[in-house]
Amino acid sequence: MLPTTGLPYGTVPRLERPGPLRDRVYGALLELITTRALQPGQHLVESELAGHLGVSRQPVREALQRLNTEGWVDLRPAQGAFVHEPTDEEADQLLTVRTLLEAEAARLAAANAGSAGIAALEDLCAEGERAVDADDVDGAVALNARFHAKVMELAGNAVLAELAGQVDRRVRWYYTPVARQRGRQSWIEHRELIAAIADRDEQRATAIMRQHTEHTRKMYHDREK
């Protein structure tokens, strides 16, 4: 019985508050890193970033702290922050974990998804195929991310989603040059995955997703040579 004013929800836009500065700094830095405006190994000087973003050093420090725990930057004591440099081994290990998490998400989605969720997946899939047909690479990549996020949402495990989100973003960062290459085949596999989920076939959904993410690993290794 909260709404004594009689105002329906959503009509008042919750008057947008800027939110903690550190979070916006975090977002800005993450953007700069993922877009490679800040290159791996680069030394991040606090005062420089602070001046560039028009804030004090404190929010920058807190943002760097968070980026550090999430693996985007390395914080060497008494030396400062450096953009993390992924090794081949680490990238490979990350892919292994991603495969694991995504496969589990597919299984849970198959177990839990309702018809509404499946319809949403099909919509995303259709959109993605259109993007590929139109050679809209950026759009296709974005839709691919949204598709996987939707599967994760249908899995209904917030903890899993949190971890997978972290891992996924880093994988995409490492593999940006590669990920853009995978076009049509990727969406065919998505279709198969939807079918398995709709059939509530946990085993098949797991297997398809595993195979799907493993294809990415393969492409990377092929490219390396």
44 binds, among a second copy, DNA, none (CB under 5 to 8 A by kind): DNA
Site track for DNA across 6-35, x = CB under 7 A: -----------x--xxx-------------
CB of 26 to DNA, least distance (A): 11
47 binds, among a second copy, DNA, none (CB under 5 to 8 A by kind): DNA
Cβ atoms within 10 A of the Cβ of 168, count?
20
Contact positions vs a second copy (CB under 8 A): 19-20, 22, 61-62, 65-66, 68-70, 77-78, 90, 93-94, 96-97, 100-101, 104, 157-160, 163, 167
Residue 34 or 96 with smaller CB distance to a second copy:
96
Closest listed residue to residue 131, CA positions, set 75, 123, 55, 80: 123
213 binds, among DNA, a second copy, none (CB under 5 to 8 A by kind): none
Site track for DNA across 52-91, x = CB under 7 A: ---xxxxx-xx------------x-xxxxx----------
Residue 60 or 205 with smaller CB distance to DNA:
60
Binding site for DNA (CB under 7 A): 4, 17, 20-22, 43-48, 55-59, 61-62, 75, 77-81
